[in-house]
Structure 1
């Protein structure tokens, strides 16, 4: 097996496996709502491939050989962001959501590689900023985003079923 981690668009046949990874990752976050508390959210994760029905949305995967290490939903036009708050009103911006890294692959830079792929895609599309959201349960990701230059943007904050969700921007 190749040791190189490669980022690429997901194949449709991989969508169910990616959905399972998303559910596994998010359901194991300390302090994050459980599948029983937010069944609609976890149904969305399980059916992550549905996001790709929107024109500006792409599901990216990180693989090492054939092994799925992580995935993220890239949104090239914020009108397709499909989240709460005001992010869908942002102009000339891209975003990404639902970044997940297999627990077995943590520490390998998978999350950073997926984030860089989204930033590079936004730059190639001529976007002026990248918008993201995270929660207090995602402190590792939160720290990574700040180290990469993302700045807290309280105007993007919202609550999802009582869960505070925090907005960030990266100017390009």
Structure 2
């Protein structure tokens, strides 16, 4: 089994990360396809563009050979989070979106590793909470988030077209 580490993505990796995200999200049962939400898939393909926003970075889990096994976009300032609903107005919060794990690396804890890296980053930035969103099509991730300590927050829920999107919070204790 490989030992993966988390680091910031390099700009020359952004295109490959975008392709990974498109593949992962388009293969989810019950998730809208590219023909249904072309703007969303365009954003996934060009995920590196999100890093032009302040306090926004892409984290990757890489093997010792530097192969990208998964990625996530971390937002240190929620005003740049870019979701529907009220999440972008949350004070003293960070968030992450677009967590994707390569099929070849599934079941090796990559999603959890990336999630814990985001929790650590938010803790270091002294945020009061970390906000995420997920859908029913992402049940594996949903269960992992709850096991780590995220709690559903209906006030963060919204609709993305015809797709219900559910908000979760991870609150830091003093």
- The match for 2:136 is 136
CA distance in structure 2 between the partners assigned to 1:161 and 1:86 by the alignment: 16
- The match for 2:71 is 71
CA distance in structure 1 between the partners assigned to 2:163 and 2:43 by the alignment: 17
CA distance in structure 1 between the partners assigned to 2:126 and 2:151 by the alignment: 20
Spell out the pairing of 1:14-25 with structure 2 (5 A cutoff): 14-25=13-24
- The match for 1:116 is 116
1:162 is displaced (CA, Å) by 1.3
Alignment TM-score, normalising by the size of structure 2: 0.97
- The match for 1:13 is 12
CA distance in structure 2 between the partners assigned to 1:125 and 1:37 by the alignment: 37
CA RMSD of aligned residues (A): 0.9
- The match for 2:61 is 62
- The match for 2:152 is 152
CA distance in structure 1 between the partners assigned to 2:103 and 2:91 by the alignment: 35
Residue 40 in structure 1 maps to residue 51 in structure 2: no
SS in 2 for 1:35: coil
CA distance in structure 2 between the partners assigned to 1:78 and 1:40 by the alignment: 21
1:66 is displaced (CA, Å) by 2.0
Unaligned runs of 5+ in 1: none
1:4 is displaced (CA, Å) by 1.6
Alignment TM-score, normalising by the size of structure 1: 0.98
CA distance in structure 1 between the partners assigned to 2:138 and 2:159 by the alignment: 15
CA distance in structure 2 between the partners assigned to 1:16 and 1:156 by the alignment: 30
